[in-house]
Amino acid sequence: MESTEFLVVGCGPAGGTAAREAARSGVSTVVLERDAVVGAKRVCAAGLRPGFCETFDLPRSIVHLDPPRLTLSTMRKTYAFTLGPAHTTTREELDGTISGFAQAEGADIRTSALFRSLERDRDGVVVEYADTKAGARKKIRAKSVFLAQGSTARLDDVDPAFRFPEWRDGIITCIQYRVYPKTPAIDAAYETLEMHYYRSPLSGETIIAWMFPKRDHLSIGLGMGPKINGAALRAELDWFLPRVQARLFPGVGYTVREEGNLLYGGQPRPGIASDRVMVGGTAAGLVDATTGEGIYEAAMTGRYAASAVHAGKRDVRDPAPAYERATKHAFYKRLRHRAKLMSFLERKPDRFDVLFRQLEGTPRFADLLQHDRNDYTRRQWLYLYAQAARFGLRAAFA
Ligand SMILES: Cc1cc2nc3c(=O)[nH]c(=O)nc-3n(C[C@H](O)[C@H](O)[C@H](O)COP(=O)(O)OP(=O)(O)OC[C@H]3O[C@@H](n4cnc5c(N)ncnc54)[C@H](O)[C@@H]3O)c2cc1C
Map out the domains of the chain as residue ranges.
2-63+88-168+268-332, 170-264, 336-396
Would you say 129 and 260 are in contact if contact means Cβ atoms under 8 Å apart? no
- Beta-bridged to residue 184, according to DSSP, are none
Query: Atom 14 in ligand 1: which residue has the minimum CA distance?
Result: 293
State the closest ligand 1 atom to the C-alpha of 32, by its place in the atom list counted from 1: 43
pLDDT at 259: 86
pLDDT at 315: 74
pLDDT at 232: 92
Query: Atom 52 in ligand 1: which residue has the minimum CA distance?
Result: 44
Query: Per-residue confidence at 233, pLDDT binned at 50, 70, 90?
Result: very high
198-212 mean pLDDT = 93
Condensed to tens digits (0 to 9), the pLDDT of residues 285-296 reads 999 999 999 999
Does the pLDDT value for residue 225 go beyond 90? no
State the closest ligand 1 atom to the C-alpha of 282, by its place in the atom list counted from 1: 26
Q: Helix (H, G, I), strand (E, B), or coil: what is residue 123?
A: coil
- Beta-bridged to residue 53, according to DSSP, are none
Q: Which class is domain 2-63+88-168+268-332?
A: alpha beta
CA of 58 to the centre of ligand 1 (A): 18
323-344 mean pLDDT = 94
pLDDT at 113: 98
Q: Which of 262, 320, 281 shows the shortest CA–CA distance to 10?
A: 281
Does the pLDDT value for residue 106 go beyond 90? yes
CATH for 170-264 is: 3.30.9.10
Would you say 90 and 48 are in contact if contact means Cβ atoms under 8 Å apart? no
pLDDT at 367: 85
Condensed to tens digits (0 to 9), the pLDDT of residues 113-134 reads 999 999 999 889 999 999 999 9
State the closest ligand 1 atom to the C-alpha of 116, by its place in the atom list counted from 1: 41
According to DSSP, the β-strands at 29-32 and 108-110 are parallel
The overall average pLDDT reported for the chain is 93
CA of 74 to the centre of ligand 1 (A): 27
Ligand 1 pocket by C-beta < 6 Å: which residues? Answer: 9-15, 32-35, 42-47, 114-115, 148-152, 174, 176, 221, 261, 263, 281-283, 287, 292-296, 298
Does the pLDDT value for residue 37 go beyond 90? yes
What whole-number distance in Å separates Cα of residue 200 and Cα of residue 243? 13
